[in-house]
Structure 1
Amino acid sequence: MPQTAMPFLVLTRAGFDDIARRVDLGKTSLFLNPGLLTEDEIARLRESGAALHVMATAVDPGNAREVQQALLLTRGETGSAWVEHAAPRAQVSTAKMQPASAPVTSTTPLSRRLARTAGQLASGALRRLRAPERGRALMAVPYLGFGNGRRIWLKGRLLDEIGFREQTVADSGWANLVALYQRLESDEVADARVVASLGGTSAETRTDDGGYFSFDLELGSELAPGRHRVELCFPDNIQADGQPLRAHAEAIVPAATARFGIISDIDDTVLWTNVTNKLNMALMLARTNHHTRKPFKGVAGFYRALRDGAGGSEDNPMFYVSSSPWHLYGPLVDFLALQEIPLGPLLLRELSVRQVLKLNQHGNHKLEQIERILGFYPDLRFVLIGDSGEQDPEIYAEVVRRHPRAVRMIYIRNVNPDPARIDALDRLIEEVSATGIQLVLCPDSVFAAAHAAAEGLIAVDRLPSVRMDKRDDDSAAPAMTGL
């Protein structure tokens, strides 16, 4: 019998009737397909104490991909859930509840199987370096971290040194493709010791199989707002000069004047990547670089206005959460700087070459990283920004369910005109609005900025600059629209 603390994903009426016979529904957390129960039944369940959520989009119990995506948003703090295990479509049987780890029958298209096989071969061909010999040139790649007065989180990677040539606006598509390949093919250094030091506090860890390391430093003294330098040492990796490899990372502590934080998606929200079409996204990355890619119209002006806030000098912190791989961290930071979009910590994904085109468990990654950010700033409310192309609205609605006091506003760039998607978004808007939080669908940045000004998030006198920024983008890239 499952533990009642674990959530249930219920997809059919037969599955609901089965679980109703087995457990006390008043002590459960239920995620239900829309239309599964009547409004009276839902009301009675909630009165009995059940934590009941009706999903915005119906999940086909015979579609393994849809079931997997739904599970990403239903798993509890233990990372587990009970899911209804449907019979194959050709059979008729009573649905039963199975652990989420149980295998789900799937008919994978041939193209996807071929891509998976090719990815596995490519991944297997990459060399993972262990105990590199003395004098080998290594490269530490620290990422911008963040924290509060007493705690800092940061991440980085240790690689065999590769000469990443600086890309320029004149680079050809072939040069961009080679640069992308070099980043994805980079040779990581696993099982290397890393020591981080800040303000008298030190901690040690080891790189994982991907060469990644991370620290969650509990500090002995209060940190002031601003940027802080974290010293990194790799004591076992002796360089040609006889000294251990050293580097430094930076971590940001938000200003005391900050009234709220901003958490933004990148893919198809700030930067056009066509992330819903993995092949087109890969081709775009291969053909362009940070000099030739353009942001969506008006994004830079809108984000600067949010950073400055209604008071003009609030210095509200920016965070970017994306399903892009960490391999693209450098180009993304360069892109933000070049387009004058406020810089903030980027929380990207650890991806192997095999996963670059799959980008599976997209929602789970974003939800985990948003939870990480919220955990550092319990007294700060956040504006969440994304697009309707994939799961951003569902992920942000789940953030509201878990942390209703942590969310100030949600802006979603509307990119999917499909009526079924619009209906699903309408249900999410209704659900979120019941908590007193607004989920706003926006055609572009000017619309979002006007709404933000009316809500006191940005200064009204910043609206002309957002409009001007959008007009400048129009003249530079007339085919692009969006938030």
Structure 2
Amino acid sequence: MAFWNDFFTTTSAEAETQFDRLKNKLFGRLDAQKPYRIIYYRGFGSPTAVWLTGRVLRQHDLSTPSDRDTFWQNLLATYQRFGSRDVPGVTVRIDAFGQQYTAITDNDGYFALTINPPENLPVGRAWFPVRYSLDGVVQLEPELADVGAIENSLVVKEGHLMISPPYSHFGVISDIDDTVLVTDATNLLQTARLTFLGNAYTRLPFAGIAAFYRALQSGPVTTLFNPIYFVSSSPWNLYDLLVDFFRIQGIPKGPILLRDLDLSSKLFSSQGHHTHKLGMIRKVLDVNPQLPFVLIGDSGQQDPEIYSQVVRENPGRILAVYIRDVSTDQRDEAVRELIRTAEAHNVPMLLVEDTVAAAEHAASLGLIDPDTIPEIRADRRADEES
């Protein structure tokens, strides 16, 4: 079995290399007409360390989604997301906290950098501006080209990064698929249909999730700011869709940590899913050593196993684990065994039917204001009716 796994992994890697070469040859000239785009992913950190990441692509601007978009418009947007061309070996200049840094994109166009923020950060602030630009890359502005003007401009992207304030009581790490967003991740065809043929307006949230996450962010005292991080095995190509979805649904803004899309066997394996999510969770915990965390996921895939491992690795740092029940009775029994393991480490792990059940337990632990429970119930009813 190990032989075939190694064979498949090697063959997939070689196929991906050959595919990239063929794509470069066939689409090189067409891609030259596409403008450079810096795709920044919300950075995050603490007063001691900040992690920044993003990607450089040749890609036309994606259209703004609408609740009136047709099947073909959604399909075109999906093609644009996955049909972009990565730009390797380019220098990205990053301006943050009055300092300038540089990073170089890898073979897939990604860049990543860890920096140390200044010691005198403003008290009471969580979001800070960051500016990305391509070093030495200029391009014709499309709107100027339309009127015949000849003028080049720098490729620039303005963004923000999040630093958990010193008064945060805890952080939240949440799965996305089948926890926040209805995906039916255990059904490959249904997941593909929802992902490729829908948009941010057609996707559905789990009932009451927006009000629950707002309550967690506010904590038991509404003047608090508890950071929320979203971790998923979905590809980075869907980042803009998720940002729009969270905004439309009123879900609190936070870093969204996705994964690269490649042809390796790990992409389709539970091992790859487990490794990616566990690695991202560890990174969040590492840059927030002062914070305990609440973990939220679902029973459909491997969230219970991953969170159980996080509990074992981080004694005293996990306040509670909430698992939305979206699976069969046989799977639920396996989850209950993991619940007993978490309880042995003095961590409550609950298998819950809906958001309200999790919120009521969170209120009993003093994680949220009990007065937010009626709002969460009302939000659940509104989502169910819509």
Partner of 1:25 in structure 2? Answer: none
- Take 1:452 and 1:428, find their aligned partners in 2: how far apart are those partners? 20
8 Å contact kept, 2:78–2:197: no
Which residue of the partner structure matches residue 291 of structure 2? 380
* Distance in 1 of aligned mates of 2:107 and 2:35: 19
Does the CA contact (< 8 Å) of 1:135 and 1:239 recur in 2? Answer: no
TM-score (structure 2 length as normaliser): 0.87
Matched, 1:281 2:191: yes
What is the letter of the counterpart of residue 308 of structure 1?
S
Query: Which has the higher mean CA deviation after the structures are superposed, 276-285 or 400-409?
Result: 276-285
Tell me which amino acid in the other structure corresponds to 1:238: V
Q: CA deviation at 1:247?
A: 2.2
- Distance verdict in 2 for CA 1:120–1:468, change over 3 Å: farther
User: Equivalences for 1:217-236 in 2 at 5 Å?
Assistant: 217-224=115-122, 225-236=125-136
Checking the alignment, whether the CA contact within 8 Å between 1:158 and 1:212 is kept in structure 2 is: yes
CA deviation digits over 1:3-46, x for unaligned, max 9?
Answer: xxxxxxxxxxxxxxxxxxxxxxxxxxxxxxxxxxxxxxxxxxxx
Q: How far apart, CA to CA, are the structure 2 residues paired with 1:384 and 1:155?
A: 23
Say yes or no: does 1:304 pair with 2:202: no
Matched, 1:153 2:47: no
The answer to whether the 8 Å contact 2:323/2:350 transfers is yes
Give the structure-1-normalised TM-score. 0.70
- Letter of the 1:227 counterpart: W
Which of 331, 337, 361 is the matching residue for 2:241?
A: 331
**Relative contact order, higher structure (CA 8 A, sep 6+):** 2
Task: Please state if 1:188 is matched with 2:86.
Answer: yes
Structure 2 residue aligned with 1:238: 138
Q: Which amino acid aligns with 2:126?
A: G
Q: Structure 1's 118 and 258: CA in aligned 2 closer, same or farther, altered over 3 A?
A: same
TM alignment of 1:123-272, pairs within 5 A: 125-127=22-24, 137-224=35-122, 225-240=125-140, 241-272=151-182
Seen in structure 2, the aligned counterparts of structure 1 residues 105 and 150 have a Cα distance that, compared at 3 Å, is closer
Name the structure with the higher helix share.
2
Q: Which amino acid aligns with 2:344?
A: A
| In the alignment, structure 1 residue 413 sits paired with structure 2 residue 356 | no
Percent identity, aligned pairs only? 37
Pairing 1:472–2:382 present:
yes
2:146 maps to none
Distance, in Å, in 1 between the alignment partners of 2:31 and 2:23 is 18
Which one-letter code corresponds to 2:350 in the other structure? V
CA offset digits 1:130-167 (Å, max 9, x no partner): 9x999973111111111112322111111113131122
Task: Tell me, yes or no, if the aligned pair for 1:201 and 1:219 is still in contact at 8 Å.
Answer: no
Post-superposition offset of 1:474:
1.4
State the SS of the aligned residue for 1:333. helix
1:308, 1:316 within 8 Å by CA — same for their partners in 2? yes
Determine the C-alpha separation between the residues in 2 that align with 1:262 and 1:463.
18
| Higher alpha-carbon deviation: 219-228 or 366-375 | 219-228
CA displacement, residues 291-332 of structure 1 (integer Å, 9 cap, x when unaligned): 111101111111111111111222111100011111111110
Which deviations, in whole Å up to 9, do the C-alpha atoms of 1:367-410 show, x marking residues without a partner? Answer: 00000000111111100000000000000011011112221110
Distance 1:250 1:422 in 2: 40
- Which sections of structure 2, spanning at least 5 residues, go unmatched? 141-150
Structure 2 partner of 1:50:
none
Match of 1:394 in 2: 305
Amino acid of the residue matched to residue 385 of structure 1? I
Q: Give the root-mean-square deviation of aligned CA atoms.
A: 2.9
2: CA distance, partners of 1:136 / 1:168: 24
Secondary structure of the 1:190 match is coil
> What aligned pairs does 1:107-126 form with structure 2 within 5 A after superposition?
125-126=22-23
Paired with 2:267 and 2:70, the residues of 1 have a C-alpha distance of 23
